[in-house]
Amino acid sequence: MSSRPTESEMSIGQPRSATQCILPDSKVKALAREWLAEDCASFDFGGMVVGNKTAKAQLLCKSPGVLAGVPFFDAVFRELGCIVTWHYHEGDSFVNDKHNKFQRVKIATVCGPIKNILLGERPALNVLSRSSGVATQCKKYIARAKEKGWKGRIAGTRKTTPGFRLVEKYSLVVGGADTHRYDLASMVMLKDNHIWSTGSIENSVKKVLSLASFTTKVEVECQNIDEGLEAAAAGAHVVMFDNQMPEELKRSAKRLKEIYPQVIIECSGGVDEQNIEEYFGDDIDVISTSKLVQAYPCVDFSLKILKDSISD
């Protein structure tokens, strides 16, 4: 378990790392407002029961995982006039003890009106558990790469939850994975439908190169080495071999690199935690998998009001 920093090391309500600074504050704030509005669209009868007394609540981590989603958790409670004091840093890992059991960890303290703490409880926990789930999943995949000495990048995909992409992409960063492209403008990816619609890989690549900025990379999804060579010859910056078996993939990557060493080679399709090691190779630069943003188990958190902290 990570060592605990003192509260003086943790700035309340402000970015605490370079990673957190990549997030646009206005967007995070807007998301927090949307989540709160979704969960309480009209009346909060539970809030009437507890009232406006001030209290503290403890955020507890109840399962192993990597802490991620701190800025979003903060934003929810900032909207409600509550203060969050973190006792651990984002990116810290919490693991089972020597008996393979998990001991609950006090992650943070939330202070404010009871009704507002409870109003933010579910949206904040939902985001934190999912964000931490993505980061935890990333750490597992990256650990495999380090164990085998593979130097490439493991990346997420654009197969994110609609409306939740910023959180999931940010969580990839916290977990140490590559975000891949954020949206359609981040990089041009020409897939089978693009190629069929224009007649050939060469036509597709040349057309997009005539329109896109010099700052924009072009990636082409290829099914075999012949398509990969055509894409590279046409000027593609990245060749992605899709759904190739590991041995065929390594042969294709080796041949392509011999002719076009500057081209980035990515593989995707069918990669998961059980088989990812089979795809590691010296000529493979990127392994992308939707499992990082589609198949992550959530980390279990809860928020508990401290009875002795309640005051008028």
Per-residue pLDDT, 110: 97
Strand 218-222 and strand 54-61: the pairing is unpaired
Per-residue pLDDT, 11: 41
Picking from 117, 99, 116, 98, the residue whose alpha carbon sits closest to that of residue 108 is 117
Per-residue pLDDT, 127: 98
pLDDT tens for 275-302 read 999 999 999 999 999 999 999 999 999 9
Q: Is the pLDDT reported for residue 42 higher than 80? A: yes
Q: Write down the number of H helices and E strands in the chain.
A: 10, 12
CA gyration radius for the chain? 23
Residue 264 belongs to what H/E stretch? strand 264-268
Look at the alpha carbons of 186, 190, 191, 197 in this order and tell me if their dihedral is positive or negative.
positive
pLDDT tens for 86-144 read 999 999 999 998 888 899 999 999 999 999 999 999 999 999 999 999 999 999 999 99
> d(Cα 4, Cα 31) in Å, to the nearest integer?
30
Residue with tokens 């609540």: 57
pLDDT tens for 141-187 read 999 999 999 999 999 999 999 999 999 999 999 999 999 999 998 99
Q: Is the pLDDT reported for residue 1 higher than 90? A: no
Give, as one character, the DSSP assignment of residue 10.
Answer: S
The answer to whether residue 29 is catalytic is: no
Q: What is the pTM of this model?
A: 0.91
- Candidates 29, 140, 159, 254; catalytic one: 159
